[in-house]
C-alpha cells in the first residue's frame, strides 16, 4: 500500500496545564527540521503572548461547548462575578484523570471545578476538536485550500500512561473528527529526544558545544526527563550504529510535575488563612484559589536556589476580605507567621498587595517534588540497564525552573546535562519532526507483561482451590494468566513475535479472548494485584468459529502495540490495537 503524501504534519500537545499545536510542511521540514509554526495565544488576564493556552474547557448549562483555554478561564471568571457559574461546567487540569486509567471502556465521568460530572470522552474530544479547528484556521492562512485530510495528525501522550489511557486519547481524537488513519500517537519524551537530536548546537541552553554531538554518537546512552505540569516522564536510549536508538529502560516516571509545587504553595496559603476561611472561599469564591495559583505560577519562575533576594507574589484582595469577615477586628496582613502542615513556623511580610517570603522558605515549596525526581533518577542510573548513561536531557515546562535544573546538575556533576532553549516546546516541535520522520526507535522494552485469560484442567499440586470449577464434565482451573510477553523484554519495532496457539472455547456477548496486563514478570492468575483487564481481542459479532484453534501474535509499532489473532478454520484475522 502506498504511503499518502500529506501537505502538512500537525502536532497537538495536550498538556496538564497548557496545550498548544505546531505544524510544518515537508518543504519546511527539509529546510530546517526543528522549525515549525506555533500558534500565539493571548492571555486576557495579562495581555501576554504565549505559545500555549491553558488546558481549560467550559460548557454551558445544556452541555454545549462554550470556550477553551484562556478564553474559557476569562468567561468562567465573568460568570462567577455575576453568580451565574453554578449551572455551567468548567474543567481544568483534567488530563491527570488519565494517569491512573488501567482498564478499557469509555463510560467514565470526571468532575468539574464544582463537583458536577460529564463523560470524560465528551470533555477530552471537545478539547481536541477545538484545537483541531483552531489549527486548521491557522494553516489556511498559509495554504488557503488545505483540508483536514491533507494533514498528518500527531497527538502527544506521556510514555508512562497505560495502554488503555493512550487508546482513550485516540478515541477522543477520532470523536473530534480526526481520521484514525491520519492519526499517530507520539510519546512525549521520545518526541523531545527527536527535537534535541536535530538541534543545532547554538540553540542549546546548558552544556558545552560538543555535548550534543557526543550524546547522539553511536554507542552513547542518554536519559530523557520530560518534566511537565502533571508528570515526570522518563525514557532512556542507546544510540545504534545507524543513528537510530534502542530503548534501554522502559518508560517510567511519576506525578511529580510542576503543579505539585503549586499544590504545596496553595496548602501554605490555606494554612495562612485557617480552616474556616479556606472553607468559606472554596464554597463561595472558588475562583480566588485559582487566581492564587495563577499568580504563583508566574512568580515561581524567579525562584532560584540559594538566592539572596526575598520572593514576592501578589495576593488577591479577596483573601484579605474573606479573612476579615470571619475574623472581626483582625487583618490578614497583620499576620507575621504561618504554621505549616509540616509543623514549621514560617515568617511572612505583606507589602501592599504582595506577600514576601525568605528565599529558603520558597525553596521548600519545591523540596519534596525535586527530591522525588532526584531519587528516582538515582535509582534508574544504579540499575544494570542504566550503567553507561552519560547524558541527561531535560525538557518540558518544569525544566525551565532553576530549582529543578540546578538540583539535577549538582546531584549528577559527572554527567552532561542538556536543556534546550525551547525546553517547554521541545515535545511539540519534536512531535512535528516525528510526523515527518518516525523511525527513531528500533527496539523497545515491553512496558507490561501481556497475556490472555485461559483455563486448564485443575491440578491440586499447582492450582489454587478458589479458581476450581466444573464445566462440560471437567474439573477446571480458571482465571489463569497465559503469558505472551514479559515486562521489560526487548522487542524489535515492527516485527511480529512468535505465534502462540489457543483454543476458542466460547463466545461471549461483549467479545472473546480477554487480554490482560500485569506489572509482575510472572503472574499466575489474571486477578492478582497489579493485573488489569485491557479488553477483548475479538469484538462482539466476530466471525471466529468456536472450538477451533487460533494463533496470537504481538507486534510493537512506533508507538502502539498490535495483537493479531488468526484462525485457520475460518480464515479470519482480527487485530486489536493498544495505544495506537
Structure letter (DSSP) for residue 380? H
Q: 309, 315, 307, 321: which is closest to 291 by C-alpha?
A: 315
Q: Is the dihedral of CA 367, 235, 151, 166 positive or negative?
A: negative
Greatest C-alpha distance within the chain: 85
- 3 state DSSP class of 261: helix
Q: How many CB atoms lie within 10 A of CB 134?
A: 18
**Planar angle of CA 439, 444, 450, nearest 5 degrees:** 130
Sort 419 into a burial class: Cβ within 10 Å, 0-12 / 13-18 / 19+: buried
Distance CA 252, CA 105 (A): 24
H or E stretch at 65:
strand 65-68
Distance CA 222, CA 213 (A): 12
Distance CA 11, CA 426 (A): 12
Sort 356 into a burial class: Cβ within 10 Å, 0-12 / 13-18 / 19+: middle
Residues written for the chain: 580
The reported pLDDT for the residue numbered 580 is 41
Distance CA 432, CA 23 (A): 6
Distance CA 61, CA 64 (A): 7
The reported pLDDT for the residue numbered 557 is 76
Q: How many CB atoms lie within 10 A of CB 65?
A: 18
Question: Phi and psi of 415, rounded to 5°?
Answer: -105, 150
Gyration radius of the chain over CA positions: 26
426: its cell numbers: 521541545
Dihedral in degrees, nearest 10, Cα atoms 551, 552, 555, 560:
140
The reported pLDDT for the residue numbered 188 is 93
Q: How many CB atoms lie within 10 A of CB 241?
A: 7
The reported pLDDT for the residue numbered 201 is 45
**Over its length of 580 residues, how does the chain's per-residue pLDDT go in tens digits?**
335 778 899 999 998 999 999 999 999 998 998 889 999 999 887 788 889 999 999 999 999 999 999 999 999 989 988 889 889 999 998 998 888 776 666 678 999 988 899 999 999 999 999 999 999 999 999 887 888 889 999 999 998 888 888 889 999 999 999 998 899 999 999 999 999 988 854 455 555 556 777 888 999 999 999 999 999 999 999 999 998 999 999 889 999 999 999 999 999 999 999 999 999 999 888 889 988 998 998 899 889 999 999 999 999 999 999 999 999 999 999 999 999 988 889 999 999 999 999 999 999 999 999 999 999 999 999 999 999 999 999 999 999 999 999 999 999 999 999 999 888 899 999 999 999 988 888 998 998 999 999 999 999 999 999 999 999 899 999 999 999 999 999 999 889 999 999 999 988 888 899 999 999 999 999 999 999 998 888 988 899 999 999 999 999 877 778 899 999 999 999 988 875 4
64: its cell numbers: 454545549
Amino acid at each position: 500500500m502506498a504511503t499518502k503524501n500529506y501537505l502538512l504534519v500537525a502536532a497537538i500537545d495536550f498538556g496538564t496545564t497548557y496545550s498548544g499545536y505546531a505544524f510544518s510542511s515537508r518543504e519546511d521540514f527539509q529546510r530546517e527540521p526543528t522549525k515549525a509554526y506555533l500558534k500565539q495565544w493571548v492571555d486576557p488576564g495579562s495581555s501576554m503572548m504565549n505559545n500555549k493556552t491553558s488546558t481549560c474547557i467550559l460548557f454551558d448549562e445544556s452541555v454545549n461547548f462554550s470556550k477553551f483555554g484562556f478564553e474559557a478561564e476569562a468567561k468562567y471568571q465573568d460568570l462567577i462575578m455575576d453568580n451565574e457559574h453554578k449551572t455551567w461546567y468548567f474543567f481544568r487540569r483534567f488530563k491527570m484523570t488519565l494517569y491512573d486509567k488501567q482498564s478499557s471502556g469509555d463510560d467514565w465521568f470526571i468532575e468539574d471545578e464544582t463537583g458536577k460530572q460529564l463523560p470524560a470522552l465528551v470533555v477530552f474530544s471537545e478539547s481536541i476538536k477545538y484545537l483541531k479547528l483552531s489549527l486548521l484556521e491557522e494553516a489556511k492562512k498559509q495554504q488557503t485550500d488545505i483540508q483536514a485530510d491533507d494533514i498528518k495528525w500527531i497527538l502527544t501522550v506521556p510514555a508512562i500512561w497505560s495502554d488503555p489511557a493512550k487508546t482513550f486519547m485516540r478515541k477522543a481524537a477520532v470523536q473530534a473528527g480526526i481520521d484514525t488513519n491520519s492519526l499517530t500517537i507520539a510519546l512525549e519524551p521520545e518526541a523531545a529526544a527527536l527535537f534535541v537530536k536535530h538541534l543545532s548546537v547554538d540553540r542549546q541552553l546548558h552544556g558545552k558545544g560538543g555535548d550534543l554531538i557526543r550524546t547522539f554518537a553511536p554507542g552513547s546512552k542518554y536519559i530523557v526527563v520530560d518534566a511537565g505540569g502533571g508528570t515526570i516522564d522518563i525514557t532512556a536510549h542507546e544510540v545504534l550504529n545507524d543513528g537510530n536508538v534502542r530503548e534501554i529502560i522502559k518508560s517510567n516516571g511519576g506525578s511529580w510535575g510542576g503543579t505539585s509545587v503549586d499544590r504545596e504553595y496553595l496548602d501554605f496559603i490555606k494554612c495562612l488563612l485557617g480552616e474556616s476561611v479556606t472553607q468559606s472561599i472554596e464554597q463561595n469564591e472558588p475562583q480566588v484559589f485559582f487566581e492564587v495559583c495563577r499568580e504563583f505560577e508566574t512568580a515561581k519562575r524567579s525562584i532560584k536556589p540559594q538566592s539572596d533576594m526575598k520572593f514576592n507574589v501578589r495576593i488577591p484582595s479577596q483573601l484579605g476580605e474573606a479573612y476579615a469577615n470571619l475574623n472581626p477586628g483582625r487583618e490578614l496582613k497583620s499576620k507575621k507567621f504561618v504554621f505549616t502542615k509540616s509543623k514549621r513556623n514560617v515568617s511572612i511580610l505583606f507589602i501592599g498587595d504582595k506577600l514576601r517570603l525568605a528565599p529558603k522558605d520558597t525553596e521548600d515549596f519545591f523540596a519534596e517534588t525535586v527530591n522525588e525526581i532526584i531519587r528516582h533518577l538515582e535509582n534508574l542510573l544504579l540499575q544494570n540497564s542504566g550503567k553507561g548513561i552519560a547524558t541527561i536531557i531535560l525538557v518540558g515546562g518544569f525544566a525551565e525552573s532553576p530549582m529543578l535544573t540546578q538540583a539535577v546538575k549538582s546531584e549528577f556533576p559527572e554527567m552532561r546535562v542538556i536543556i534546550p532553549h525551547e525546553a517547554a516546546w521541545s515535545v511539540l516541535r519534536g512531535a512535528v519532526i516525528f510526523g515527518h520522520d518516525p523511525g527513531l526507535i528500533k527496539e523497545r522494552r515491553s512496558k507490561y507483561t501481556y497475556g490472555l485469560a485461559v483455563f486448564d484442567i485443575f491440578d491440586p499440586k499447582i492450582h489454587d482451590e478458589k479458581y476450581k470449577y466444573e464445566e462440560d464434565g471437567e474439573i477446571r482451573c480458571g482465571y489463569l494468566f497465559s503469558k505472551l510477553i514479559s515486562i521489560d523484554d526487548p522487542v524489535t519495532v515492527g516485527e511480529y513475535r512468535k505465534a502462540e496457539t489457543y483454543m476458542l472455547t466460547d463466545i461471549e456477548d461483549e467479545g472473546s479472548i480477554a487480554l490482560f496486563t500485569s506489572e509482575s514478570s510472572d503472574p499466575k492468575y489474571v486477578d492478582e494485584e497489579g493485573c488489569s483487564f485491557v479488553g477483548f481481542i475479538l469484538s462482539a459479532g466476530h466471525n471466529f468459529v468456536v472450538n477451533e484453534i487460533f494463533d496470537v501474535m504481538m507486534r510493537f509499532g512506533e508507538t502502539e502495540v498490535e495483537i493479531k489473532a488468526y484462525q485457520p478454520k475460518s480464515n479470519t484475522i482480527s487485530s486489536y490495537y493498544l495505544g495506537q
